[in-house]
Amino acid sequence: MVFKSKGADVINAKPLVQLSRIRLYAKASVFLLLSFIALINTAQASPVNIINTLMPSPPQLAASSYILLDVNSGKIIVQYNADERLPPASLTKMMTAYIVFSELAKGSISEDDLVPISVKAWRMGGSKMFIREGTSVPLKDLLKGMIIQSGNDASVALAEYIAGDESAFAEVMNQQASLLGMNLTHLKNATGWPAQDHLTTARDLSVLARALISDFPEHYKLYSQKEFTYNDITQANRNGLLWRDQTVDGIKTGHTEAAGYCLVSSAMRDNMRLVSVVMGTKSSRGREQETQKLLSYGFRYYQTHQLYAAGEVLTSPRVWAGASQTVDLALAEAIVLTVPRGQRDALKVTVEVDKNITAPVEPGKSYGVLKISHDGEVLDRRQLLATTAVEPASLFSRLWDHLILFVRDILGLE
């Protein structure tokens, strides 16, 4: 009996030891798991992530109207009275330049063309290139005189060469403004010389600046040139930011008594290009200081990302009753977004594909939607287009697929 009792004790002790070990391992595992969760929570609460979300209010400028936007995404970062119609002064010459660039691109004029100088152009007051009546000046020199020296005489000479006279050129300017979507702009001359109802807005000027940069990148380089010499007279570019900020490469200054001091600028840092429009400041130095406030704010607190390239395939959904079982869906244009720094990972991307895509599939037709949102706000919405055609399958395959779809529909299956 004693032997059996001891034997029983020995036999029963093994599972007890094993159970104790299991409990010990379980406790250790729970402790490690809780420690890991606490570590994750600590990392999520890291001050680094919190800092990335802090952002001050936009700067308030001593100006009548202003706007700041990203050229690539079109995102408006700051705006104030952006739709107030104001006299643009020599900012008008941005439109004159845009039309000249357009004519050059069409081939209807050449940079080497010799432009005759009229009495009207020669007599223009204000800022001048100092061209002489009765002479002919190469068009490329007139462009530099208008853009770098802000020459009113050069602007009139270019307008007359393209349209016959300045009034006809003003009609072309307004037509071009309409095409660009500058809906609150009405121009009466090529220079910005004070005239009744010669008005535009900060928003419209930002549209024009963006078009100048995007449509004519080679010609746009003229705006970064700091000085130009013509007829042995050297004049400096009136945009003082070209000397004070190496990232600034344009665009145009303006000043009249009615307009105040105005400046449209563009700068590029780390592949991010911003355009600012500041209208109605009290001095030439003031327009530069207020512009710097806008540019500094935009570059410091925002960042532009290309999320998807044009033509990039984002999904390949099932095609029913088709010769091919799938079709690639892609974007027609790249998606570029400007968001607060550190918020790219917070963007939510949703792809919605049409239910039960059935052949034939047409290339270029939309079969889905891509949505990008942040904090519940939809930032961009794009159609997803078929990259190729999908022809119908054989009769038997089509019947079989339609039968499957019929059954799925009855059963409520996706």
Contact of 88 with 259, CB cutoff 8 Å? yes
Residue from 384, 318, 310, 320 nearest 350 by CA? 384
Beta-carbon neighbour count of residue 276 at 10 Å?
30
Q: Which of 75, 93, 144, 293 is catalytic?
A: 93
Structure-block tokens of residue 219: 């010609």
- Decide: helix, strand or coil at residue 236: strand
Q: Which of 73, 90, 265, 276 is catalytic?
A: 90
Residue from 145, 72, 78 nearest 297 by CA? 78
Q: Catalytic site residue 150?
A: yes
Q: Which of 65, 73, 150, 276 is catalytic?
A: 150
Q: Catalytic site residue 106?
A: no
Cα separation, 32 vs 218, in Å, equals: 62
Q: Give residue 121's identity as a one-letter amino acid code.
A: A
Q: How far is CA 87 from CA 22, 184, 196, 260, in A?
A: 84, 12, 9, 9
Q: How far is CA 312 from CA 115, 281, 308, 388, in A?
A: 47, 45, 7, 13
Helix (H) or strand (E) holding 114: strand 114-116
Q: Catalytic site residue 5?
A: no
Q: How far is CA 319 from CA 161, 338, 396, in A?
A: 58, 35, 15
The residues that are catalytic are: 90, 93, 150
